[in-house]
Amino acid sequence: MNLDQFFNAEFDEHEAVLRATRNVLHGAFARLCDVAITALKGGNKLVLFGNGGSAADAQHIAAEMVVRYKINRAPMAAIALTTDSSVLTAGGNDFGYDTIFDRQLAALCKPGDVAIGITTSGNSENVVSALQTARDMGVVPAALSGRGGGRLVGLADPLLVVPSETIARVQEMHIMLGHMLCDVLERECS
């Protein structure tokens, strides 16, 4: 393995995906900011969820909103549905893994809330199912994805699809977009 070539190729790919994301997601990002601002200013909440690295991203973004991102301010109403191991394991055992987020949404959300599903492929069954549940409940079904958006196209709105097939690059853009959302919300909702 040529470590120099590998190192430079990873940065080159990251930079290319960063530029492409910047070029195509401005409108979708603005829409996500709008629905999140409207929800928080209206006394509603943001609910985030995903699997694996996307679960970690959901938790990370929710923590920045509840605790702080850049400035000390009042907490913003946000929660990650991936943190309660008892609910996740009971729901998975009793109803199946494909619906582990559905019951939490039904229990915790009301119309005007924003459900933000995170899936690099756009095809994670439990994320797709939860966003359909959100839509049926009058909860805004938003999502971050990659790889063309998968099954989220036509379901999630706003839908931010990172233009890449590489999971790592998609995840890198997801956390950047999540941080940008936190920054906007701190400025607009504090």
State what percent of residues in the chain have pLDDT above 70: 100
Give the homologous superfamily in CATH for domain 3-189. Glucose-6-phosphate isomerase like protein; domain 1 (3.40.50.10490)
* Residue range 162-176, pLDDT digits in tens: 999 999 999 999 999
Write down the pLDDT at residue 39.
98
* Residue range 24-68, pLDDT digits in tens: 999 999 999 999 999 999 999 999 999 999 999 999 999 999 999
Average pLDDT, the chain: 97
Q: Give the residue extent of every domain in the chain.
A: 3-189
**Which contacts qualify for 22-26: CB closer than 8 Å, 24 or more apart?**
24/161, 24/163, 25/160, 25/161, 25/162, 25/177
| Residue type at position 5 | Q
Taking the C-alpha atoms of residue 146 and residue 2, their distance in angstroms, rounded to an integer, is: 29
